[in-house]
Structure 1
């Protein structure tokens, strides 16, 4: 994304637009987000946290007052805005050791979202899905309690997303189109990472299979119409899951990833790439020094600090070695369900989407979202309504929801 949507700092600008994108489903007000971001001092993480937390507390207080007065819609929307602002406040501290401001962010956004749920007009259950020796927290949103079996979409979030945030990205849009929804935090995501200490893993087929098992036990689910939608890094995790879980009727990668090692290496100066991570010691040390210098920068180093924490590694070379495990080479060919790959024109994070599409042997489609449409950012964050129209238009043709 180009600079100056709201501010001149790359990270803060992108995160502001990310918060704004939730406005279409009540998670923010556009110019409120811009005003908050413009009060932040330079690249000061503490200032960012303080401004967004203040806005979150104000929205939460409005929700509490409205709730006490029986004003259900006002309360619902206020709590949803609080959820977005609490998440946005703490996300800049996604790093190890865990900062208490991140822990608070996870807890407060969850509390805000669940306060909002009490004012929803459609049924939703807070769920804990058994997984190995832990449980995966999530939400089972349903169109209605009418005994009908409906198609269901399972939502997979990304590197720094949370299950609550996925409500704004895909869940409400799916409900509005007649789909039931199961959203959850998996290993390395949201509260599973921050509160349970479980890091990311590449074999998402082994994560989604018990999720599908749980879903098939629910009486409202049509077992022949279950789809998987992966957001951001979920554009790798969802196709990886579909490569081994063949009970899925469709898969959407938004945006498509193919090989995280190749993506990481592409950001290293070309003359050094062939030596990373286990080549010439001098070259490796030079890259390590460059990365260590960047790690210390407040906003420029955020994505690197996030990667170390989420993947559960100590150094950038360890991260790059671990990235070798996050590949769809040899896995994309095993996907049997129809698959949609989304590719945003200006998205350098997921520039490999065409490679994923080319590797697929199943029924497939690639949708390009352009800068001219305002949809060229990662996950089309500036034009989600356009993304939703095209992606669910594709999915409707496969799963045929009853309530269009």
Structure 2
């Protein structure tokens, strides 16, 4: 990957935005010029410059929109969506920064207009959940036979339904699938606006989502697939283990034991061995130095504590023990594909999940030689889609 910033955290955020360029979600020139205006470590500057780029591209979208140029307008709205989302990544944390809320609202506005101009049906949905609702988008092919198979996307720690459009909906629509994108507790608007924090019992979250799928007239109730990416590689298997109506599962990557993050942290052996039966206060003194590293500070201190609704890293390490898959893996009955990408730390656990499954299963390795290494195969999603959707086509055709 081309180096766009000498700041490792900013570089990772830039790569995340640029990865969407293959499907119209970004342009290299716009990303490069934006990064060129940002000094390493300048969080305020990052937010300011990405917001400026997003606003510029949004203005181009409105100009085409007002003149009736639907294709040009929707293309620019989609890129503006990406840039507004990029602008608030360094602002993660509790209490929620008002700049993050505003940027998210602008992101949602741009994506909403993109959806209205899309060449295929793309509609926001609200799925009833525990006295409120979960936000989502229903994406459907514009023509063809029905009923169709449906892919339900399960998000991870820091993505949202707008970002999942390029990773899940685009390849699904190309293959004639209906795709339902949903932000559960701890994700997207559920976290930012409703304050719903992440929870391990994803079977409770997935159940009303499947209930909603079964109300859709264009969907084949016997061909429901679920795909989780990033931390969704833990949440999706957990949910499917308690939802027998699912016909196929994809874990990208297979994430067996999220609590393994403790192995990378500076804990005494006796405390590590006693986890999770440890008072969080015992752990905190050993974790204070985590905030000294900008990447770990963002991942754990800013992001993880906010997503889980916790106060300390000690609480976080104890909390992660609740995200186990042993019981869920034993209960999964549908065919399951486990992805394992070279050079992705989370993929190190894919083999463990695969070995624990008792259902029809397949382990697919993505490699540096084919350009698909790294977290969630970001730089070659076409290869990922080929492997995964070919498998899904075959599995669901047998239903």
Please indicate the TM-score interval, normalised by the length of the shorter structure: over 0.9
CA distance in 1, matches of 2:279, 2:240: 38
Show the 5 A alignment for 1:162-311: 162-261=160-259, 263-269=260-266, 271-272=268-269, 273-274=272-273, 284-291=283-290, 293-294=291-292, 298-304=294-300, 305-311=302-308
Relative distance call for 1:113 and 1:172 in structure 2 (3 A) is: same
Aligned residues: 395
Contact 2:203 2:238 in 1 (8 A): yes
Tell me which residue corresponds to 2:36: 38
**2-structure distance, mates of 1:372, 1:38:** 30
**Structure 1 residues 371 and 221, CA gap change in structure 2 (3 angstroms):** same
Q: Compare 126-135 and 5-14 and name the one that shifted more.
A: 5-14
8 A Cα contact 2:225 2:246, kept in partner: yes
Check conservation: 1:143, 1:180, Cα contact below 8 A. Answer: yes
CA distance in 2, matches of 1:281, 1:257: 24
2:328 corresponds to:
331
Equivalent-residue separation in structure 2 for 1:258 and 1:34 (angstroms): 37
From 81, 84, 87, the equivalent of 1:86 is 84
* Large movers: runs of 4+ above 6 Å: 280-283
Paired residue secondary structure (1:223) = strand
In the alignment, the residues of structure 1 paired with residue 279 and residue 208 of structure 2 have an alpha-carbon distance, to the nearest angstrom, of 43
**Which residue of the partner structure matches residue 314 of structure 1?**
311
Question: Contact conserved, 1:123 with 1:145, CA < 8 A, in 2?
Answer: no
Q: Could you state the TM-score of these two structures normalised by the residue count of structure 1?
A: 0.93
Q: How big is the shift at 1:277?
A: 6.0
- The whole-number CA distance in structure 1 between the counterparts of 2:96 and 2:267 is 34
- CA-CA distance at 1:147 after TM superposition: 6.8
CA distance in 1, matches of 2:124, 2:10: 32
- Could you tell me which residue of structure 1 aligns to residue 369 of structure 2? 372
More displaced stretch, 270-279 vs 385-394 = 270-279
1:337 alignment partner, SS class: coil
Cα RMSD of the aligned pairs, angstroms, is 2.0
Contact 2:342–2:373 (CA<8 Å) still a contact in 1?
yes
Question: Counterpart in 1 of 2:64?
Answer: 66
In 1, Cα distance between the equivalents of 2:280 and 2:296?
26
* Alpha-carbon contact 2:147-2:218 (below 8 Å) kept: yes
Give the whole-Å Cα distance in 1 for the aligned partners of 2:223 and 2:281. 54
Instruction: Give distance in 1, aligned partners of 2:278 and 2:120.
Output: 56
Structure 1 residue 275: Cα displacement = 5.6
Work out which structure has the larger RCO, using CA pairs closer than 8 Å and 6 or more positions apart in sequence.
Answer: 1
Residue in 2 aligned with 1:357? 354
Q: Distance in 1 between matches of 2:121 and 2:254?
A: 32
Counterpart pick for 2:155 among 148, 154, 157: 157
Q: Rate the CA distance shift 1:246–1:324 in 2: closer, same or farther, 3 A.
A: same
Quick one: which of 378, 385, 393 aligns to 1:381?
A: 378
Shift in alpha-carbon separation, 1:270–1:200, aligned structure 2, 3 A? closer
The reply to whether residue 119 of structure 1 matches residue 89 of structure 2 is: no
TM-score of the two chains, using structure 2 as the length reference: 0.94
In the aligned structure 1, how far is the partner of 2:51 from the partner of 2:127? 30
What do the CA deviations read for 1:191-238 (whole angstroms, capped 9, x no partner)?
000000000000101101111001101111100001001011111111
* Aligned partners of 1:265 and 1:276 also within 8 Å: no
**Structure 1 350/101 Cα, relative in aligned 2: closer, same or farther at 3 Å?**
farther
Describe the SS at the equivalent of 2:364. strand
**Residue 330 of structure 1 aligns to a residue in which SS?**
helix
Contact 1:43 1:299 in 2 (8 A): no
- Larger proportion of helix: 2
Comparing 375-384 with 281-290, greater Cα deviation is found at 281-290
Q: CA deviation at 1:276?
A: 5.3
Q: 1:34 to 1:383 in 2, by over 3 A?
A: farther
Question: Do 1:343 and 1:353's aligned partners in 2 also have CA atoms closer than 8 Å?
Answer: yes
Q: Is the 8 A contact 1:277 1:284 kept in 2?
A: no
Bigger shift: 85-94 or 191-200? 85-94
Task: Quickly say closer, same or farther: Cα 1:133–1:350, change in 2 above 3 A.
Answer: farther
Residue 133 of structure 2 aligns to a residue whose secondary structure is strand
String of CA shifts for 1:97-154, please: whole Å, max 9, x gaps: 1001211122111110011112112112211110111101111111136672100000
